[in-house]
Amino acid sequence: MNIVYAVIVLGVMAVVFGLILAIAAKVFEVEVDPRLPQIQAALAGANCGGCGYPGCAGCAEAILAGKAPVSACAPAGAEGAAKIAAIMGMEAPSGEKKVAHVMCNGGTNAVKNFEYRGVTDCLAATKVCGGDASACRYGCLGFGSCVAACKFDAIHIGENGVAVVDKEKCTNCGACREACPRKLIVEVPYKQKVFVNCSNKDRGPAVTKVCANSCIACGMCERTCKFDAIHVVNNVAVIDYDKCRNCTMCAKACPKGAIEPIPTAEEKEKFKAAQKAAAERKAAAAKAAAEKAGQ
């Protein structure tokens, strides 16, 4: 008998609470725009904060309010932007996929002024003696602030002590770009294969002293490029990704191996031989032209 009593009392309590909650749900109902959950579903859902809003819910609200563009969520990519644009009844912005890239290949190739043993954080390291632990004042410190910032496991410190982006995993959320105190991480097109992996803006001789893999602003790449896509600006070569066709000629021409993909010795020889042959042909042609003019 007792058990029945207990069941009844608890059952009645449950029903009463259920009713109260059901009524409360009606009374305290807040009208939510039906597009809000849809937009949130189209976002990447990583709560990475790359958009600058507190989490994906915040971003969805901002998009709905028109404060953020439909493409605010970089991890969701063009696909997500298109979905959100459809929900919002707007036209999807076109744009190719972009990823992050670390513009440094120094690391263990760079000279060290002293051994830094403080907090393993890049920003902290830059505060010690003006960040002079590594003699290059522009290079990657390799303490992994970007690695800690990445929510997608897409950036890691490579063998040579420089952060490397895994572009398959990268969603271009921008967290690593924010985290890098030296602003070495930039946005590049996913398709791009050739990069100048140096950001040192000092003049050639000064750069040579601090890093074996540095851009010395010699201009070889600029002269080699057939597409006018690489130029030396502020003593460092910069690729115009709109013009670059990924032919890798500049990488082969670079005397310092500062341009990715770094050519093998064999490729380098081949390139030199080809250059020489071209120069000879040019000289022969000039000679022939001169002779012709002389006649």
Question: Residue numbers of the site for other proteins (CB under 8 A)?
Answer: 5-6, 9-10, 13-14, 17-18, 20-21, 24-25, 27-30, 119-121, 124
3-state secondary structure of 134: strand
CA distances from 15 to 6, 25, 27 (A): 14, 15, 18
**d(C-alpha 4, C-alpha 65), whole Å:** 54
Of 24 and 289, the one with the shorter C-beta distance to other proteins is 24
Q: How far is the CB of 173 from other proteins (least distance, A)?
A: 20
Of 90 and 119, the one with the shorter C-beta distance to other proteins is 119
Q: How far is the CB of 110 from other proteins (least distance, A)?
A: 23
Of 153 and 280, the one with the shorter C-beta distance to other proteins is 153
Q: How far is the CB of 122 from other proteins (least distance, A)?
A: 13
Of 117 and 292, the one with the shorter C-beta distance to other proteins is 117
Residue 292, Ramachandran bin (φ over 0: left; ψ between -120 and 50: alpha; else beta): alpha
Q: How far is the CB of 250 from other proteins (least distance, A)?
A: 42
Residue 45, Ramachandran bin (φ over 0: left; ψ between -120 and 50: alpha; else beta): left
Structure tokens, 182: 């030296």
- Within 126-227, strands assigned E span 155-157, 163-165, 185-189, 195-196
Please choose, from the candidates 55, 93, 67, 95, the residue with its C-alpha nearest in 3D space to the C-alpha of residue 190: 95
Of 27 and 65, the one with the shorter C-beta distance to other proteins is 27
Q: How far is the CB of 105 from other proteins (least distance, A)?
A: 28
Q: How many CA atoms lie within 13 A of 232 on its CB side?
A: 20
Of 28 and 89, the one with the shorter C-beta distance to other proteins is 28
CA distances from 91 to 71, 82, 247 (A): 11, 8, 35
Q: How far is the CB of 55 from other proteins (least distance, A)?
A: 9
Q: How far is the CB of 90 from other proteins (least distance, A)?
A: 27
Of 121 and 222, the one with the shorter C-beta distance to other proteins is 121
Q: Are 47 and 68 in contact (CB under 8 A)?
A: no
